[in-house]
Chains A and B, each alone.
Chain A
Amino acid sequence: MADAETLLEPLIPALRRYAFALVRSHDAADDLVQDTLERALSRWSLRRTDGDLRAWLFTILRNLHISAERQRQRRGPHLDVDAISLPAAAATQEAGLEMQDVLAALDQLPEEQKSLLLLVGVEDLSYDDAARVLGVPPGTVMSRLSRGRQRLRSILETGRATLLRRVK
């Protein structure tokens, strides 16, 4: 059996990135990653050795996130003071404005579209693996991705429009 440590550790930065984009809080993201790794360790012998290990971990992480969200919704809204975005590196003022908007706009998408944009666009998962993580038919990934990206664009464009109007 391949050692879990040597296989899992290199994937932790990607898990943290995905988790942070989902929950937008550094501590909550690391909690989520920790839960993911603990679950992966407890089920290490059950994992499919032929599948992509990353896809398996992203699936665990996403499922944990979804069930935590459901619980939170049952308990009522929760405001997180830790929800801050990272400083944008080397950006022009206008690009910086939009950059700030991309993560915020992403938050306005339904979780499924948000995850798809992150897994494909950021984590470079194959379309088939992304479908597996989301539990949707592979044939529907492209249209879902397209819808998600168009929605993100319209959110960014209308958001920017209101921002400019306010500035004037």
Chain B
Amino acid sequence: MTGNELPIGEDDLQAFVDDRLDGPRRAAVEAHLAAHPELADRIAAERRHRTLLRGQLDAKFTEPVPARLRISTLRAARRGRWISSTRSIAAALAIFVVGGVAGWFANSLTPSSSPPTPTVSVAQSATAAFRTFVVEVAHPVEVGVQQEAHLLQWLSKRLGRKLAAPDLQPFGYKLMGGRLLPGGSGAAAQLMYDDASGRRLTIYVRAADGTETAFRFQKDGEAATFAWIDQGFGFAVTAAATREELLPIAEAVYRGFDGATSTGPSGPRIP
């Protein structure tokens, strides 16, 4: 062995097992193995196992290839699958179209699930807004009651309607303040009140279509709501209260807004 040769490494030994070493390196490994009989035993065993493995799998290699693995067979099967899948796509499409057409006609025969009436829609938005902000501890309102004049002026401007805060003191509720919310296609205003025990009540106002003026009651979980449409606006009074508790409040609110817009004395029909 000459001095400038690299020491024998595991990579040399593996390449030796695989018969992939060139002449000089192969000779160097053979010399190394001759000097290390234990390593030589290991490498000899690994070479033998490699040869045995090749021998054992040789029969599989020389075995005739089954016809199903011929490329031409596989290609024909692929074409067949493509045609049948095209057919099933066409069939699925036909079913889809037939179903759609049938559905179109069926729709005119059965009562359709039309979008909710404006009152229902207002009541739902009011309930959602109530849920969101009534639990709010840090910022229940955007503008507090200390700036009531400013609050009502601001909300009136954004709503496009003069907004007054109905006096609900007779029911034990005091104004806390209010906030501006997105509502329908424009803005919505929410006024929040609370009573001595901290129970909260909201009044929700937003522009709404429809001439319906009947009160509509809705109870969603703990949140009870009276909603109505008046003069192109939807109103809702929401609180965690019973129908009986809430109705007189809703009527008072209705009268409050009625006075604010100074329309006729035609009150809503109470259901």
Contacts and interface: CB of A to CB of B under 8 A. Distances in A.
Contacts of B68: 30, 34
Interface in B202-255: none
A149 B11 contact: no
Contact of B56 (A42, A102, A143, A153): A102
B208 to A, nearest CB: 55
Interface of B is mostly: helix
Interface string A15-35: 011001100000000100110
A9 B18 contact: no
A99 B69 contact: no
Task: Determine which residue in B17, B54, B60, B62 has the highest number of CB atoms from chain A within 10 A of its CB, and name it.
Answer: B60
Contact of A99 (B46, B55, B60, B63): B55
Contact of B14 (A21, A37, A102, A149): A149
B46 A149 contact: yes
- The contact size tier of chain B is 20 to 34
Nearest to A95: B52
A102 B45 CA distance: 12
A89 to B, nearest CB: 7
Interface in B44-79: 45-46, 49-50, 52-63, 65-66, 68-72, 74-75, 78
Interface stretch (A48-56, A57-65, A72-80, A115-123): A115-123
A56 to B, nearest CB: 15
B189 interface: no
A85 interface: yes
A102 B18 CA distance: 17
Contact of A98 (B13, B52, B75): B52
- The contact size tier of chain A is 35 or more
Contact of A153 (B46, B53, B59, B78): B46
A117 B15 CA distance: 12
B61 A14 contact: yes
A17 B60 contact: yes
B199 interface: no
Contacts of B59: 86-87, 89
Given A143-B10, A153-B42, A37 B60 contact: no
Contacts of B54: 121-122
Contacts of B69: 12, 16, 30, 33-34, 37
A90 B181 CA distance: 89
A108 interface: no
B78 A16 contact: no
A130 to B, nearest CB: 10
18 contacts: A9-B71, A12-B65, A13-B61, A16-B69, A17-B60, A30-B66, A38-B74, A38-B78, A41-B74, A86-B60, A95-B52, A103-B57, A120-B18, A122-B50, A122-B54, A142-B15, A149-B46, A153-B46
Given A13-B60, A17-B61, A99-B55, 6 more contacts: A8-B71, A9-B65, A38-B74, A86-B57, A86-B59, A102-B49
